[in-house]
A and B are shown apart, each in its own frame.
Chain A
Amino acid sequence: MRLQAYWAGQGCAILQPYDMEVGAGTFHPATTLRSLGGKPWSAAYVQPCRRPTDGRYGENPNRMQHYYQFQVIIKPSPPDLQALYLGSLEAIGIDMALHDIRFVEDDWESPTLGAWGLGWEVWCDGMEVSQFTYFQQVAGMDCAPVSGELTYGLERLAMYVLGVDHVMDMPFNAPDAPTPLSYGDIFRQTEAEYSRWNFDVADTDMLLKHFEDAESECAHILAQPAKDPKTGREIIMAHPAYDQAIKASHVFNLLDARGVISVTERQAYIGRVRALTKMCADAYVMAEGAEV
């Protein structure tokens, strides 16, 4: 909440999580699609993320298949973005005079989004607390102007601020509440359940079919003429098509966790998802151009 208040104070629109399974906050259309084109943009939001291969049955102190990211995206990136970012750490109670904050090279790349950028992972006393990226390309298109993206791992940050060693031990409400709840009370069981399903139970034949369905629906949406015959208006459906790309990407992650995708096939699947994202991005840019 303090992060939201801070970034709202810096002029970001506070958005809500996207209601689909995504592997990272970057997949939210508020980042992927809005970083394209020339219009200024500034937003912040929380996004639950699912990474099936990271499941550890709730046992690892900070690795889970479901966790939360806080995402800030500003276009064009302001010259004092690093200072703004450090201000956000101060805002959540990290005292710069006691901690060692470091910007360590980490170039970001998402092959499924056809996107890359240069930046750092930010370390606080050796712990990676954020990812800091200047987007250079998204969906294979050059970003002009460039967006600055900040991603905070919320659990890690909270553990840090609260001084907790294991994510599951973290209090989730006031410890003196009538029913004190920890992170583990809420998520330990679900982590174990999803870990088992992701790794060993998910029906791979069905998933393969879902992947293909999403792929063909995406193409089907974008194959429609821009002019809607019912309303007579120009409506390019970039967002519904992009939902299908997100779906395909998540299904691919599930298949990957099931271990049924070989190294060579992997590349092919990633290429297929990238092709979907690219089509959606083209449609989005076209729609934005049509608006002006």
Chain B
Amino acid sequence: MDYLLELFSEEIPARMQKRAGEDLQRLVTNGLVEAGITYESAAVFTTPRRLCLNICGLLEQSPTLREERKGPRVGAPDKAIEGFLRGAGVSRDDLLVKADKKGEIYVAEITRPGRMAGEVISDVVSEVIRKFPWPKSMRWGACQMRWVRPLHSVLSILGKLEEVQVVPVSVDVPVGDSTEGHRFMGAGRFSVTGFEDYEAKLKAAYVMLDPAERASMIWHDATNGAFAQGLEVVEDRGLLAEVAGLVEWPVVLMGDIAEDFFELPPEVLQSSMREHQKFFSVRNPKSGRIEKFITVANRETADGGATILAGNQKVLFARLSDAKFFWENDLRVPLSDMAAKLANVTFHNKLGTQAERVARIAALASEIAPMVGAGADLAGQAAEICKADLMSEMVYEFPELQGLMGRYYAEKAGLPAEVANACEQHWQPLGPSDVVPSEPVSVAVALADKIDTLTGFWAIDEKPTGSKDPFALRRAALGVIRLVLENEVRIDSRMLFARLIIKMDFELKHRDFIEKADEIQVLLEKSVNKIMLTEVMQGYGAKFFSANVEENELKTFNSLMKAANLLAFFHDRLKVYLKDKGIRHDVIDACLKMPGNDDLTLLVMRAEALQAFLNSDDGENLLQGYKRANNILRAEEKKDGVAYEGAPEVRFAEEPAEKALFAALAEAGPQIETALVAEDIAGAMAALAGLRAPIDAFFDDVQVNADSAVVRRNRLCLLNRIREVMHKVAVFSEISG
């Protein structure tokens, strides 16, 4: 049997149609299958005014279910037997007697008859409509039900060949076998007998049921029309899907854009036409200019769409006049004046105005500039105007043009190309797949922008929690990671974060302290430089409890905690990023435990080299040797209650393999150090590889637990020496396997 359902309503928002179709299909078919009515195929279609579900090959009724229920033993008290009969819904004569482990018992055979498909459908569809997951639904008139817009009728028919029955659905509107066609071109209601009849009669009533068919027809007609005039349509899939959801009978019309508007940037034309009018842009491939537009009407007219096109052209003229008004007004205002207006805009009530933020970004961008190969002056200049276009009339009207307008206005003002580009590119990357800027000035400003955001929000304790990240801080951190790695930027981020957060903390809360900027620097260098931040924290932690701490030190301590936390946040983001790049979790951990883990570029170089090494034969064997040494050491240290950390002495070495290992370690140690200083991580790995054979030979030939206590102790210290040498490269104990 086949079932056809159509929910006919007032216009459903285009953006909700696809999801609504999927939900309808999933909820109805799941409901049917759960009730035992299976089917062969199902398809869903949407138009602005209808959701339609067609299910083919349904079972006529759900299968009969038989169940045997065990009751009390034969001879049990009557009360127990009666209770069982009530529960099972059978009479005493229906009971069977069967043998069980405990003897003879009563058994009731219960039969649940299948339900007819129509009955099940009626229940399921009524329930689905009642609980339909619209993103926003409404009531209307005095009706009690909810739908996305007022529902007018439901077509609900179940049938086989010519036998068709209406399946009742409980809604506050008529349910039957009829529907309507196009709002203007259709001619009243009509009845249908099945899906093919429905689809054909709709087409005759000027409704193209399938959204994919509408979209492909629009695209086909649009591209053909443009091609005939030597033009091309600017591809926009989102717009195509939206427009296909706005019409039941698409008619593609192409119109002209007045030449007055050709001077506007093409993106402005596109934004204005797409956002306000749902027009496609038509480009002249020779000039790159947008010269025509395409609109999609919902009907045919006697004049071939001439009136409709003229009306649309007129509206577009007014829209573009507005855009031109903004463009010309903006060009009259120097970018520096626009930037000055940022002083009236609050960025965040605890982080001051946009202008204050821009000043911070400019200072930071100049500082970062040399690290990325940019001129400090250019970077500072770019940063000072990078947010100016937020104050332009154009961006106020079309927020999605932020950055881009900055670039145009900077170009028009004759500023250097790097500065203009930075206005646009400093926003990037906007997402995991967005491009990362590579021009040095853009990189400097982009990094400064994001780092300022992160350190600022960390300073005021506004970190992302769970799924909540209202300031898109995860995206900002990922942006920094990608900017740093893809441009191989070297930043001592621990120091930088700490300094920025301390500065922010003091600027925001203790404005008096800012005069003593030198003091901060001294404090900071004394405490952070060359030491792991955790150690600093522990040191200050102890002081914290011992009282008599200078107030400023205390404040600094809090800031340092935040900086450490921010770095940890970066490490978490980095792990996610590297995992996507195929670097193992344990490899990342082994590198994160190393000093210099705040230099993200170095960290990733190390992780990549380590993973490659571990994948090699030498690496795998060396890891086994390391584990063996580590296991023995740990066991013996635990047993003896001492740490074997002293230097082993070659004079106590007895076996040749032992002596060879001494020699190998003595050679590898300095080699590794030299390589690491030169940041030749692969070289350090190669030096490590040289240890594989001597270590293997040592374990083959030498008994660690020698009878002589001196020899045994010396050998344990030798094992420790292996561990120490290897830990110069990475913390191998983190590696699993």
Contacts and interface: CB of A to CB of B under 8 A. Distances in A.
Interface of A: 56, 59-63, 76-79, 82, 96-105, 107, 117-120, 124-127, 134, 136, 143-146, 148, 160, 165, 259, 262-264
Contact of A63 (B10, B297, B310, B322): B322
27 contacts: A60-B318, A61-B317, A61-B318, A61-B321, A62-B318, A79-B141, A98-B302, A99-B301, A99-B307, A100-B297, A100-B308, A103-B11, A104-B11, A104-B246, A105-B15, A118-B148, A118-B149, A126-B279, A126-B315, A127-B311, A136-B138, A145-B141, A146-B138, A146-B142, A165-B317, A263-B345, A264-B349
B346 A98 contact: no
Nearest to B347: A263
B344 interface: yes
B301 A126 contact: no
Given A99-B307, A127-B314, A60 B321 contact: yes
Interface in B1-50: 10-11, 13-15, 48
A192 to B, nearest CB: 15
Interface in B265-307: 277-279, 295, 297-299, 301-303, 307
Contact of A126 (B11, B138, B311, B322): B311
B346 A264 contact: yes
Nearest to A165: B314
B471 interface: no
Interface residues of B, number: 47
Contact of A144 (B139, B302, B325, B344): B139
B303 A98 contact: yes
B316 interface: yes
Interface of B: 10-11, 13-15, 48, 136, 138-142, 148-150, 152, 184, 246-247, 277-279, 295, 297-299, 301-303, 307-312, 314-318, 321-322, 325, 344-346, 349
Contact of B139 (A100, A107, A146, A160): A146
A105 B139 contact: no
A78 B14 CA distance: 24
A160 B298 CA distance: 19
A99 B138 contact: no
A117 B149 CA distance: 11
Given A104-B11, A165-B317, 7 more contacts: A76-B140, A99-B308, A100-B299, A102-B298, A107-B136, A127-B312, A146-B142
Given A126-B315, A263-B345, A264-B346, A101 B184 contact: yes
User: Lowest 8 A-B CB distances belong to which pairs?
Assistant: A125-B311, A105-B13, A103-B11, A126-B312, A145-B142, A76-B141, A100-B297, A118-B138
A96 B279 CA distance: 22
Most chain A C-beta atoms within 10 Å of own C-beta, residue among B140, B308, B312, B318: B140
A41 to B, nearest CB: 13
Contacts of A144: 139, 142
- A78, A120, A126, most chain B CB atoms within 10 A: A126
Contact of B344 (A60, A61, A107, A262): A262
Nearest to A133: B138
B10 A103 contact: yes
A103 to B, nearest CB: 4
A136 B139 contact: yes
A143 B139 CA distance: 9
A125 B315 contact: yes
